[in-house]
């Protein structure tokens, strides 16, 4: 279940309670009158089945609560309550297959922000990939795959395309289009410096037999990217973080960027172009797979007008009872 906290103006409290009363998947409703200071108003808390969360949040947004007050959502790990179990049974669908859109958007937005931490992780990953290429070490290349943070913006871009979130799409594209060139440029400078001082020696692509798969683009490259992107999105929406590690070591994104840099240092422009193409194929494949998973698996948030109409009926009935 999810714990939902709402802060709303006092004149909207009955409308919010009506929405919750009209949703069978909502329970444990608590009202604290005049408890909120900033923004001022009443505080309402409830536990909602995941299957019903989209309908409730959409109905609250239709009331303008996100503009005049606040809506916060957090997962509840353990609930010992008969009414909670009844609410989950009454809600349509299965909790494991239910995704709260606003929760997903918030999670991916955090992972797609271009900041110093993102650039540092991406640069370190590209450096590891370059070292793995020069030393012909697949273990080092796998380490670069795990360290790379690029799946966050790619998943966010898939969510943005599904939800038509222009701001999230722009944030993701900025992180990718600025982050990779920055990391590759830093890796190029570091590689040239290490070659000059004799820490790295690399003469020819032909000497590689363990990591040459990185620049070899083919149909399987796209298939692996699609499968990894699908698995990654499933892991993201179901909070299966352990599965994400397998996703990270399946796609050839950061290794391709590192390989392209190393190829440039020895003048292998054709190989550098193939590695860049591998990077593009994997990124596109991940985004496409993410969109397909969201389109096929997730149901829409429902029609908030249904809950609002039911809430008005509940409020009218309550008023008649008081009279």
Average pLDDT per consecutive 10 residues, the chain (323 residues; last block may be shorter): 93 91 91 93 93 88 92 89 89 69 81 91 95 90 90 92 90 95 95 84 76 88 91 77 64 91 90 94 94 76 58 58 52
The pLDDT value recorded for residue 296 is: 82
The pLDDT value recorded for residue 262 is: 92
The pLDDT value recorded for residue 245 is: 63
Strand partners, 26: 48
59 vs 92, 307, 310, CA distance in Å?
A: 17, 6, 11
Q: Is 74 helix (H, G, I), strand (E, B) or coil?
A: strand
The pLDDT value recorded for residue 308 is: 64
The pLDDT value recorded for residue 200 is: 75
Range 31-41 burial, b when 16+ CB lie within 10 A, else e: beeeebeeeeb
């Amino acid at each position: 279940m999810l714990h939902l906290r709402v802060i709303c103006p006092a004149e909207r409290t009955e409308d919010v309670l009506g929405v919750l009363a009209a949703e069978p998947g909502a329970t444990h409703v608590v009202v604290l009158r005049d408890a909120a200071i900033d923004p001022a108003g009443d505080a309402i808390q409830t536990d909602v089945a995941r299957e019903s969360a989209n309908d409730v949040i959409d109905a609250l947004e239709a009331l303008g609560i996100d503009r005049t007050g606040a809506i916060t959502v957090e997962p509840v790990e353990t609930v010992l309550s008969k009414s909670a179990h009844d609410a989950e049974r009454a809600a349509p669908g299965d909790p494991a297959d239910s995704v709260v859109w606003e929760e997903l958007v918030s999670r991916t937005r955090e992972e797609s922000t271009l900041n110093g931490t993102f650039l540092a992780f991406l640069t370190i990953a590209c450096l590891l990939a370059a070292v793995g290429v020069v030393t012909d070490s697949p273990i080092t290349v796998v380490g670069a795959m795990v360290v790379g943070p690029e799946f966050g913006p790619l998943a966010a871009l898939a969510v943005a395309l599904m939800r038509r979130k222009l701001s999230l799409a722009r944030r993701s594209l900025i992180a990718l289009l600025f982050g990779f060139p920055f990391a590759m440029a830093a890796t190029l400078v570091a590689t040239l410096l290490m070659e000059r001082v004799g820490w790295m020696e690399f003469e020819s692509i032909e000497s590689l037999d363990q990591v040459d798969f990185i620049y070899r683009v083919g149909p399987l490259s796209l298939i692996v990217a699609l499968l990894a992107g699908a698995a990654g999105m499933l892991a993201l929406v179901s909070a299966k973080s352990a599965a994400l590690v397998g996703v990270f070591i399946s796609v050839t994104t950061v290794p391709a960027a590192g390989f392209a840099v190393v190829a440039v240092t020895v003048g292998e422009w054709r190989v550098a172009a193939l590695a860049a193409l591998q990077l593009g194929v994997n990124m596109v494949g991940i985004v496409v797979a993410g969109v397909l998973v969201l389109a096929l698996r997730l149901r829409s948030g429902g029609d908030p007008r249904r809950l609002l109409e039911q809430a008005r009926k509940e409020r009218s009935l309550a008023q008649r009872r008081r009279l």
